[in-house]
Structure 1
Amino acid sequence: MEVKAAMSQNMAYRDGGVGVAVVTLDGELEEKLLLHDDGAPPPPVRRHERAAPQKYQRDDRRHRRPTEGGGDDVDDYRERFVRAYDRLRDELVSDDACELTDDAKRWLAQMIDYNVPGGKLNRGLSVIDSYLLLKEGREVTEDEFFLACVLGWCVEWVGLRGINDGILLKCHITRLIKKYFREKPCYIDLNELWNEIALQTSLGQMLDLISIHNGADNLAKYNIKGYRRIVKYKTSYYSFYLPVACALLLSGAKLENFSGLRDILVEMGIYFQAQDDYLDCFADPNTIGKIGTDIEDHKCSWLIVQALGHADRNQIEVLHNYYGKKDSSSVSKVKSTYTALDLKDIFSEFEDRAFKHLVTSIEAQQDRAVQEILKSFLKKIYRRKK
Structure 2
Amino acid sequence: MHPSHALVQGRQQVTLDTPLMRTLSTLNSTTVPKPIVGTVLPKDESREFMAVFPDIVRDLTDAGRHTDIPEANKWFAKVLQYNVPTGKKYRGFALVYSYKQLVQPEQLTPENLRLAYIMGWCVEMLQAHFLVEDDIIDQSEIRRGKPCWYKYNNLGLAAINDGLLLESGVYHLLRLYFRNMPYYLHTLELFLQVTQKTILGQHLDIHSTDLNGRPKFDKFTMDRYNSIVKYKTAFYSCYLPVALAMQMVSGELSLTLEDICSSGNINDDYLDCFGESEITGKLGSKDIEAGKCSWLAIVALQRVTPKQRALFEQCYGYKDPVKVAAVKELYEQLGLPATYATYEEESYNLISTQIQQISRGLPHQIFFKFLDTIYRREG
After TM superposition, is the score higher than 0.5? Answer: yes
Q: Is the 8 A contact 1:220 1:308 kept in 2?
A: no
Q: 2:80 aligns with which of 112, 117, 126?
A: 112
Residue 191 (structure 1) shift: 1.0
Q: 1:189 aligns with which of 186, 193, 209?
A: 186
Residue 101 (structure 1) shift: 3.0
Q: 2:131 aligns with which of 159, 174, 185?
A: 159
Q: 1:209 aligns with which of 199, 206, 211?
A: 206
Equivalent position of 2:69 in the other structure: 101
Distance in 2, Cα, partners of 1:330 & 1:294: 13
Relative contact order (alpha carbons < 8 A, sep ≥ 6): 1 or 2 greater?
2
Residue 124 (structure 1) shift: 1.0
**Where do 1:60-71 residues align within 5 Å?**
none
Deviation string 1:145-190 (CA, Å, 9 cap, x unpaired) is: 1110111001132111422112222221112112211111111111
Residue 368 (structure 1) shift: 4.9
Q: 1:30 aligns with which of 26, 30, 33?
A: 33
Distance in 2, Cα, partners of 1:179 & 1:385: 38
Q: Is the 8 A contact 2:215 2:291 kept in 1?
A: no
Stretches of structure 2 that go unaligned for 5 or more consecutive residues are 1-18, 133-149, 151-158
Q: Is the 8 A contact 1:280 1:293 kept in 2?
A: yes
Equivalent position of 1:381 in the other structure: 374
Residue 381 (structure 1) shift: 1.4
Equivalent position of 1:178 in the other structure: 175
RMSD: 2.3
Mean Cα deviation higher: 204-213 or 296-305: 204-213
Residue 331 in 1 paired to residue 299 in 2? no
Residue-pair matches, total: 329
Mean Cα deviation higher: 209-218 or 371-380: 209-218
Distance 1:159 1:139, change over 3 A: same
Deviation string 1:180-224 (CA, Å, 9 cap, x unpaired) is: 111111111111111111111111112111113378253232111
Residue 281 (structure 1) shift: 0.8
Say which SS state the counterpart of residue 208 (structure 2) adopts. Answer: helix
Residue 143 in 1 paired to residue 111 in 2? yes
Residue 25 (structure 1) shift: 5.7
Q: Is the 8 A contact 1:186 1:250 kept in 2?
A: yes
Say which SS state the counterpart of residue 385 (structure 1) adopts. Answer: coil
Distance 1:280 1:361, change over 3 A: same
Residue 280 in 1 paired to residue 272 in 2? yes
Distance 1:213 1:268, change over 3 A: farther
Q: Is the 8 A contact 1:23 1:352 kept in 2?
A: no
Distance 1:237 1:13, change over 3 A: closer
Mean Cα deviation higher: 328-337 or 217-226: 217-226
Q: Is the 8 A contact 2:23 2:259 kept in 1?
A: no
Q: Is the 8 A contact 1:13 1:350 kept in 2?
A: no
Distance in 1, Cα, partners of 2:95 & 2:223: 30
Deviation string 1:11-48 (CA, Å, 9 cap, x unpaired) is: 6942xxxxx6x75461xx134x234xxxx439xxxxxx
Equivalent position of 1:77 in the other structure: 45
Identity among equivalent positions (%) equals: 32
Distance 1:105 1:284, change over 3 A: same
Q: Is the 8 A contact 1:92 1:172 kept in 2?
A: yes
Equivalent position of 2:15 in the other structure: none
Q: 2:225 aligns with which of 218, 224, 227?
A: 227
Distance 1:100 1:356, change over 3 A: farther
Residue 92 in 1 paired to residue 89 in 2? no
Q: Is the 8 A contact 1:23 1:349 kept in 2?
A: no
Say which SS state the counterpart of residue 334 (structure 1) adopts. Answer: helix
TM-score when normalising by structure 2:
0.81
TM-score when normalising by structure 1:
0.79
Distance 1:252 1:331, change over 3 A: same
Residue 99 (structure 1) shift: 3.3
Q: 1:360 aligns with which of 353, 360, 367?
A: 353
Stretches of structure 1 that go unaligned for 5 or more consecutive residues are 1-7, 15-19, 43-65, 67-73
Mean Cα deviation higher: 286-295 or 136-145: 136-145
